[in-house]
Structure 1
């Protein structure tokens, strides 16, 4: 009888401790940390491997373009189906903050990262930043006798009709960065006029921000509006593609990470966030990005001269209005 009572007490104690563990964030769980990302598969695979080796935390990653990811968050809220976002447009971090999706966490690993690259309350952190770039197929330009474009204005020249490919800003963060850059740089009235004229030369709008670089590299089109690393990767593989920064300047965006408020594994998420701010992870990121936010890893003052004073807050606040007009004018 005493043995039976002891067994029951031990069982009840075990169940109680397990329940407490679940209420405190589920850290006793062997479940992987669920992550959303907009990063390309190749680079994200490398990042995941690095994070898992550096933290011991297993990640379960779902890749969605930035537009798709934001739509998914809105449809799932308040019970978003991930613990973290690793890789997303800065503007969406600001919107996610406004919607109350983010869990603040002050990480000591991020102390030396400049304030402009992180939220003061620790709601989001920027690991790197990237920018728009033109990808040019040198062979096509030569074969067809096309002039090398040097500015955004040059792309309106009729000689490029049917030779330009760019992403759809409804699904691609790269494309929305381009669209909002044009509107900020030229002003809205002149900016929309520019986009309408550019549309006359556009052969195709792609879903992915990297797709134009691939299509230009493989000889389908002469010019792609894309982002820096996509061009550089194909160039490194030996494709006849060159990158050009238009003379008026280019927009750039932080690639940010955050912890979702509804996570049931906060300690694991915080451990990963700490690692994202480490020198070790930033050095790995620098293999895939031109610039990282931690000092003394990637310094390029000459490159930064090409960046416009891009207003991510304006882009965030006006995204829905801008996208509604873009769909009306260009999606039909």
Structure 2
């Protein structure tokens, strides 16, 4: 296992020597720390001449740091940031096109036409439903987002805050088409009226559901499958109809101090070898031919998940983020 150290709320993970030298690549990431360590071990074997230093931050903190350092960036690359965060115009302006053998083989829906970002992975909105808590309250299993909007679930749902959680904003922007679909927006608002607790992170609602604090937690698929694997009385529901999902994008900084090695590392993150590792943590893996594992399919992920994902206008979702969240907050007071 590679060393790491805490820096405030951030975590710095190191692959190789901690001393900076030619061949060192500094990466900012919003991926989870436990998965980063696994990926870095494999990256070090594939690229033994590169030391990868990863500063792990939450999505909001990562965006804030990039903006604070925009005049003089301290990182070479971004790895695994919600694409709706990365496409914020001030952050997108910090990126330069990045291309590579593996990146070029990814489906076009998972990379920008101008080469400024690519997304090897993503996450899918899902409900964590505690069967025992649901039965105690005499409630039926929700199957659609419209089901979840029914008044019968009033106070029985935990949901992440769109202002602080990438999962929360993914749900709001996906179901409402970035606020342009009135019917979808109304469904989101009706669901919000049923929420008994708003959480800061996307995994927290599932954690509340698995211990029975709430029968239903709006989260993402991996969190639900993790709860099932750990033996909690949880079922994962991928609501029928609109699929809420987000891509985890990566990109190269225009002012990277080591652009050559950063490109090599980024291209490795799009490789088939990396895709095998992603399957242990991700619902959406973009590598050609990659399908959900047998376990994931047993729990409800369709074998053709990537092919069934609807097109999303990520640029509009990024551009409208602040206005859409403000509108949502105003309407749910």
TM-score by length of 2: 0.83
Query: Are 1:132 and 2:106 counterparts?
Result: no
Once residues 93 and 178 of structure 2 are traced to their aligned partners in structure 1, the CA distance between those partners, rounded to angstroms, is: 31
Q: Match for residue 103 of structure 1?
A: 96
Higher alpha-carbon deviation: 125-134 or 89-98: 89-98
How far residue 238 of structure 1 moved from its aligned partner, in angstroms, is 1.1
How far residue 327 of structure 1 moved from its aligned partner, in angstroms, is 3.6
How far residue 162 of structure 1 moved from its aligned partner, in angstroms, is 1.9
Once residues 82 and 322 of structure 1 are traced to their aligned partners in structure 2, the CA distance between those partners, rounded to angstroms, is: 30
Higher alpha-carbon deviation: 235-244 or 68-77: 68-77
Deviations 1:226-258 (A, max 9, x none): 111111111111111111111222122222111
Higher alpha-carbon deviation: 270-279 or 65-74: 65-74
Once residues 305 and 262 of structure 1 are traced to their aligned partners in structure 2, the CA distance between those partners, rounded to angstroms, is: 36
RMSD: 2.5
Once residues 55 and 169 of structure 1 are traced to their aligned partners in structure 2, the CA distance between those partners, rounded to angstroms, is: 38
How far residue 306 of structure 1 moved from its aligned partner, in angstroms, is 5.7
Once residues 88 and 282 of structure 2 are traced to their aligned partners in structure 1, the CA distance between those partners, rounded to angstroms, is: 24
Deviations 1:9-48 (A, max 9, x none): xxxxxxxxxxxxxxxxxxx826853222222222222222
Aligned 8 A contact 1:135 1:243 in 2: yes
Aligned pair count reads 305
Q: Match for residue 259 of structure 2?
A: 266
Query: Are 1:326 and 2:309 counterparts?
Result: no
Aligned 8 A contact 2:99 2:267 in 1: no
Once residues 318 and 283 of structure 2 are traced to their aligned partners in structure 1, the CA distance between those partners, rounded to angstroms, is: 24
Once residues 320 and 200 of structure 2 are traced to their aligned partners in structure 1, the CA distance between those partners, rounded to angstroms, is: 21
CA change 1:75–1:188 in 2 (3 A) is farther
Aligned 8 A contact 1:83 1:269 in 2: yes
Aligned 8 A contact 2:291 2:305 in 1: no
CA change 1:283–1:216 in 2 (3 A) is same
Q: Which one of 139, 144, 154 corresponds to residue 151 of structure 1? A: 144
Aligned 8 A contact 1:36 1:69 in 2: yes
- Quick check: which has more Rg, 1 or 2? 1
Query: Are 1:172 and 2:174 counterparts?
Result: no
TM-score by length of 1: 0.83
Q: Match for residue 313 of structure 1?
A: 315
Consecutive unaligned residues of structure 2, counting only runs of 5 or more, are 1-19, 293-301
Q: Which one of 33, 45, 59 corresponds to residue 37 of structure 2? A: 45
Query: Are 1:120 and 2:126 counterparts?
Result: no
Q: Match for residue 285 of structure 1?
A: 278
SS at match of 1:68: helix
Q: Match for residue 182 of structure 1?
A: 175
How far residue 90 of structure 1 moved from its aligned partner, in angstroms, is 1.9
Higher alpha-carbon deviation: 189-198 or 276-285: 189-198
How far residue 302 of structure 1 moved from its aligned partner, in angstroms, is 4.2
CA change 1:182–1:100 in 2 (3 A) is same
